[in-house]
Structure 1
Amino acid sequence: MNKNLLILGAGGHGRVVKEIAEAMGVFDKIDFLDDENSDIAIGKLSDNEIFAGEYSYAFPALSDSELRMTWIARLEENCYTTPVLIHPTAYISPSASVYPGSAVLPKAMVNTNSVIERGCIVGLGAIVDHDTFIGFGCHVDCGAIVKAHCMVKANTKIDSGAVYKRDDMPTPQEFMEANGFSFGVGV
């Protein structure tokens, strides 16, 4: 398997993701696919299938969380590995879990027993305290704090500087539904 990375999206977040990938020092080649920034991209998003043999890794650096989640699934169907990208200056507890398609930006912190699900962004200097669950596609923006023992439902954005606490949590049913579970009546 080669160590080449395709980044889908060459906008602001895509450029941040590229710098994180470079700082990690594990990829041999990093390029963009983008539908609008053709001056720095080697092709459009739909061209990803063409590059599947040349790039083993692909990462959707798209600001829309639902689109990010859709692209994670599509890239994996096209035989790409979706990496976890963690800047070397971020702190990730050894007991925390960060899942594929997530990016943890510089100076961010993910504390003990916390879970960062697929397709999340933990922004510059953000803090996710201990025993916290961040659902699929969430964005904990720059400097935001998610306090201990919280659950954040899928596709939630916590704005820069905000403090997310237990009073902000969804009901158990809202949380489960947002994370792909249904409560249909029947056998």
Structure 2
Amino acid sequence: MYLFGASGHAKVICDILDKSGISVKGFIEDDPEKKELWSVPVVGTTDAYNSEWQPCLISIGNNAIRKKIAERIRIRYERAIHPDAVIARTARIDEGTVVMAGVVINPDTSIGRHVILNTRCSIDHDCHIGDFVHVAPGSTLCGGITVGEGTMIGAGATILPNITIGKWAVIGGGAVVTKDVPDGVTVVGCPAKRTNKQKNDE
């Protein structure tokens, strides 16, 4: 496996892959200061991507950067799923997605492309998680929730049932979301309240 990105997020993915019996052969990294991670070499940059560097996974936590790489380098990406994750038989997980230790995904939930489901987060039944979303450690999504593309759900956040969260929104750490959140909006607190406005609202 080759990984795009050689930082802290990559360390966690390396550990997941190791536990799954998959070795990391090299990193694709644009920071010239980074030469290796855990004795595994940086083999090149995204601009110099070589089709021989497959299979691949994007190991970068920033949602926008993951999308940029996925759109620039259009290949079939792998997944990384920790063996201690609990995943319902009817759940669907798309390419490029990472599922970390202690994650629970309940029945009839769909997880999009290049999503990060971080340590001990819980996704209940009938949820739909869009592409490039990051659900941070310890977050709880109740049943019937929709999360739009690129949204960041902060550590320890709770989202109540049947809520819709728009694209590229930010849910603050520890927030309790009790109503729908529009595209591009940041909400924080308990109950979660909006802290910024969309450009169209100004």
Alignment map for 1:123-134 (pairs within 5 Å)? 123-134=118-129
Relative contact order, CA 8 A, sep 6+: which one is greater? Answer: 1
Q: State how far apart, in whole Å, the 2-side matches of 1:120 and 1:22 are.
A: 20
Residue type matched to 2:58 in 1? P
The one-character-per-residue Cα deviations of 1:30-70 (angstroms, maximum 9, x if unpaired) are 32111225220222222222xx22x3211111122122123
Within the candidate set 80, 83, 99, 1:85 is matched to 80
Residue type matched to 2:45 in 1? K
Q: In the superposition, relative to structure 1, how do residues 14 and 73 fare at CA in structure 2: closer, same or farther (>3 Å)?
A: same
Counterpart of 1:148?
143
Query: Aligned-pair distance for 1:168?
Result: 4.8
The alignment's TM-score, normalised by the length of structure 2, stands at 0.74
Q: Which has the higher helix share?
A: 1
Q: State how far apart, in whole Å, the 2-side matches of 1:47 and 1:59 are.
A: 16
Residue type matched to 2:62 in 1? D
Moved more, 162-171 or 11-20: 162-171
Counterpart of 1:185?
none
Counterpart of 2:65?
67
Question: Is 1:121 aligned with 2:119?
Answer: no
Alignment RMSD, CA only? Answer: 2.2
Counterpart of 2:47?
46
Moved more, 39-48 or 97-106: 39-48
Alignment map for 1:1-187 (pairs within 5 Å)? 5-25=1-21, 27-36=22-31, 37-40=33-36, 41-49=42-50, 52-53=51-52, 55-76=53-74, 80-166=75-161, 168-170=163-165
The alignment's TM-score, normalised by the length of structure 1, stands at 0.79
Moved more, 56-65 or 67-76: 67-76
Q: How many residues align?
A: 164
**Structure 1 spans left out of the alignment, 5+ residues:** 179-187
**Contact (CA 8 Å) 1:88, 1:106: kept in 2 or not?**
yes
**Structure 2 spans left out of the alignment, 5+ residues:** 37-41, 170-179, 184-202
**Contact (CA 8 Å) 1:125, 1:142: kept in 2 or not?**
yes
Counterpart of 1:184?
none
Q: State how far apart, in whole Å, the 1-side matches of 2:56 and 2:72 are.
A: 10
2:47 is paired with a residue of what secondary structure? helix
Query: Aligned-pair distance for 1:14?
Result: 1.3
Residue identity over aligned pairs, in percent, reads: 23
Residue type matched to 1:97 in 2? R
Q: In the superposition, relative to structure 1, how do residues 165 and 155 fare at CA in structure 2: closer, same or farther (>3 Å)?
A: same
Query: Aligned-pair distance for 1:161?
Result: 0.6
Query: Aligned-pair distance for 1:114?
Result: 0.4
2:49 is paired with a residue of what secondary structure? helix
**Contact (CA 8 Å) 2:99, 2:117: kept in 1 or not?**
yes
Q: State how far apart, in whole Å, the 2-side matches of 1:24 and 1:118 are.
A: 20
